[in-house]
Structures are given as C-alpha cells and as structure tokens.
Amino acid sequence: MSEKQSVTLAAPIPFEPVRASDIQQAQAQISAVIAPTPLQFCPRLSEEAGVQVFLKREDLQDVRSYKIRGAYYAVSNLSQQQRAAGIVAASAGNHAQGVAYACRTMGIQGRIYVPSQTPKQKRDRIMVHGGDMVELVVTGSNFDEAAAAARADAAERGATIVEPFDARDTVIGQGTVAAEILSQLTSIGKALETIFVPVGGGGLLSGVASYLADMAPRTAIIGVEPAGAASLQAALDNDGPITLDTVDPFIDGAAVKRIGELPYHVIERNLGRIHVMDVSEGAVCTEMLALYQNEGIISEPAGALSVTGLREMNLSPDSVVVCIISGGNNDVLRYAEIMERSLVHRGLKHYFLVNFPQEPGQLRHFLNDILGPEDDITLFEYLKHSNRETGAALVGLELGQARDLDPLMERMAQSRINCQHLRPGTPEYEYLVS
C-alpha cells in the first residue's frame, strides 16, 4: 500500500460532528484511569501579557502528554475481536506512550511505529509504559513515513490501527481537556475567554473546538503551529488538507506533513471562533527555557507552542486565558540545541565567515578592535589552509545584547578583515553551521 493510498484511506467518510455530549461521555469513561491535570495560574506570564494566564498542565499526565486521553478512549472502545487481532499505531512519541499504556492496562498486544527522529527519551518511555505487550519499530525520517509503514503492516496482518489524531474517538478523547478546563475555571468563578492550543495533526484543536462550540461558544480559540510544519494553515489556504513537501522535525510532537481529514473538517466548521498562527522554532526554544527557569516546568517543544503564541497576540486586558502545556517528554540531551536556537532567535548568537589576511597581528586586531567588550567567541574553526594570502575561519559570537550587532557590523565594515555574516535559512548557514 502506498503512502498516498494510506492517507486517502485514513479519511473518515462521511464526516460526523463531535458534540460536547460525546466528550462528556468519554470523560466519564476514562475518569477511573486518567486523573484530571492541574490548571495553574501563572503570575509571571500574567504580568508580562497583562491578562490572567492559566496553564493546563498536561505534561503531568502519567505519560507526560494529553495524548493518553484519545489513545486510551479509542482503545477502550475496540471490540473483543479487534483487541484479539492486535493493534498498530504510528506516533512521534506521545501518542505511542498512550497506546502503550492502554495495551499494558488492557492486556492487548500492540506494535508501535515511530520515526527515527523521535528522541530516545520518548522511545524509552514507550517501552516502560508498554512492557512486554508492545513492540517498538523505528522507521522513516518523519511521522508520515512511520504512519505509512504502520498502515501497511495493519492491512497485511489484519490488525487495528489506533490513529493519533485522524479518528473520531481520538478527537473525542482529546476534547476532555476542554471539559476539564471549563469545570476548573467555573469552580473558581471564572469564564474562559481565550485558549491557546498547540497544533500538529489537529486532534487536540478539533476536540477542544468541538466542546467549546457547544459549551462556551464565545471563547476565542488560537491554534498555534510550528513555522516549520504549518500543515493546518496550508490546508486552509488550499481549501483542504495538503501534504507539505518538507517539515522541520525539531518540534517533533507537532512535525506533521498533513493535517488530519477529520480535524480539518471540525476546524473548518469552527473558523469563526478559531484563529490560526505559526511561531518560529527559535521562539519556542526561548519559551521552553523560560518555563523551566521560572516555573520549573519541563516542557517538550510542542508543549511550549501555546505559550509562544501568547507572546504574539494582543488580548483584552485582564481577560482569562488558558495555555495548554501539551507535553513534557523532552530529552535532556536536546538542551544544547535548545539553547543554541533560543540565542539565535533572540539575536544574541551570530556566525561569521572571517577571511584573515595572513599577516602578523590580524587575530589580535580582530579581538581588540572589532569585537565589543561583551562579545564572546563560542566557535573558532579554520576552514581552509592552502591559500597563502588569506585564512578563512568560521567564527561564532555570542553578544551581550542584541543591539550590539549593528556596532559590531560597522567595525567589521571598517576593518581590512573581510567578514561575512551567515544568516539562518541561507545555504551558507545550513552548510557551515547546521
């Protein structure tokens, strides 16, 4: 079965709307196993944004992600015949943990496909939750390739696919996040005015939108996508789901090439209350670090999408805003890259290709006369040794403040040393730096 055929077969036809009553039923069904997560007021973000910001802590789920809701609800609805045939799932990591948890809890054999870029931390947690009831298969360079392999396997063996976002039961299960939020706000005498929801395949956004359409129709819903994988905006521009040519895999929990068919239909029907935006991967890294340093929240990249979107919206002063921290499965080994991306985003980290004339004192001149007092060399690597007149070096600089860049560039322009600023997104930057 080809990937194109797999995507076509996965489309739920005909479209059946998801109602608040469906979500309430799911909430009752899974409540004995999945406990509500805290809704925490965040003083720092509230003061900075001028609104009342509450964080929905889905990173505190047993599998550190909201994905357990849709996965467990979907698996619990399978017939005995479907369970006996075994289940197959594809995931970037979080849905897989929810499926693995359900497999072990219900005694069902499962095979889970994840792409090669899934962090080791997520792979390890899948096996912890699934134990000997789960087999893990690593294949493909992104979620969509892993999903194609999973569907082909399920078709060959007659197993049951548990979709991560493009299935009605999954969407209904994810919608229980919104049901909890409204209940928690009501208990403290507040009404939800705006909610920020991370977007990958669209399961969470469509579940939240379905519940709020019935129970809080005046609430504004902001769907936040990573700029490197904005499949929802592409679908809206195309009047239907379309497969992106490439995605940036960094925000692995939301790096999906094609929005789900069912989520798209739900979102399209609620466009009057949904605003879609995208944020850069570097901005997400900055918010991840801020959450960790200030609130002690270990968020994965996708988990910080909502807070990143909050930064870019003008909201009514003192309004009640909820940001869903969708997951906390972040590998500690990634923090070096997270720091790097954040520094570049904030304008503090820059790379230059510097051609030093092969004359005495040129490096001293660069250090004393070109660099500012707070500029720090973080990388110095000679790239070429055969040219006797100049010596090229890749130089990474961390500035004390972003505004120090313009004076630095002026001093470089006035010097005999030729300095080329390498900018993110250019071929030179990707080749020499990335």
CATH code for the domain in which residue 407 is found: 3.30.70.260
Query: pLDDT-derived band of residue 9, with 50, 70 and 90 as boundaries?
Result: very low
Statement to judge: residues 256 and 400 lie in one domain? no
Statement to judge: residues 138 and 197 lie in one domain? no
- The confidence score (pLDDT) of residue 72 equals 97
Which CATH number do you get for residue 120?
3.40.50.1100
Statement to judge: residues 224 and 141 lie in one domain? no
For the chain, the C-alpha Rg in angstroms (whole number) is 24
- The confidence score (pLDDT) of residue 92 equals 83
Residue-wise pLDDT tens digits, 184-241: 999 999 999 999 999 999 999 999 999 999 999 999 999 999 999 999 999 999 999 9
Indicate the pTM of the whole model.
0.91
Statement to judge: residues 61 and 73 lie in one domain? no
Query: pLDDT-derived band of residue 357, with 50, 70 and 90 as boundaries?
Result: confident
Query: pLDDT-derived band of residue 360, with 50, 70 and 90 as boundaries?
Result: confident
Q: Which domain holds residue 157?
A: 68-161
- Tell me the pLDDT of the chain averaged across its residues: 93
Statement to judge: residues 45 and 183 lie in one domain? yes
Task: Please check the confidence at residue 11 and state whether its pLDDT lies above 50.
Answer: no
Note the Cα 101 to chain centre separation in Å.
Answer: 21
Alpha carbon distance 145, 7 (integer Å): 11
Statement to judge: residues 315 and 208 lie in one domain? yes
- The confidence score (pLDDT) of residue 405 equals 97
Total domains in the fold of the chain: 3
Statement to judge: residues 218 and 242 lie in one domain? yes
Statement to judge: residues 88 and 173 lie in one domain? no
Query: pLDDT-derived band of residue 344, with 50, 70 and 90 as boundaries?
Result: very high
Statement to judge: residues 237 and 352 lie in one domain? no
Active site (annotated) includes residue 6: no
Residue ending a domain, among 161, 181, 212, is 161
Longest dimension (CA), the chain: 80
Residue-wise pLDDT tens digits, 54-111: 999 999 999 999 999 999 999 999 999 999 999 999 998 899 999 999 999 999 999 9
Active site (annotated) includes residue 280: no
Q: What is the mean predicted confidence (pLDDT) over 285-313?
A: 97
Statement to judge: residues 249 and 321 lie in one domain? yes
Residue ending a domain, among 304, 339, 374, is 339
Alpha carbon distance 330, 122 (integer Å): 8
Catalytic residue among 6, 65, 67, 91: 67
Residue-wise pLDDT tens digits, 104-132: 999 999 999 999 988 888 899 999 999 99
Alpha carbon distance 219, 143 (integer Å): 32
- The confidence score (pLDDT) of residue 385 equals 60
Statement to judge: residues 52 and 141 lie in one domain? no
Statement to judge: residues 146 and 184 lie in one domain? no
Cis peptide before 263 (omega within 30 of 0): no
- The confidence score (pLDDT) of residue 391 equals 75
Residue ending a domain, among 284, 311, 339, is 339
Helix axis angle, 143-157 relative to 3-10, nearest 10°?
Answer: 80
* Backbone dihedral angles phi then psi of residue 114, each to the nearest 5 degrees: -130, 150
Residue 347: CB partners within 8 Å, gap ≥ 6? 399, 402, 405
Residue-wise pLDDT tens digits, 327-340: 999 988 899 999 99
Catalytic residue among 65, 210, 326, 342: 326
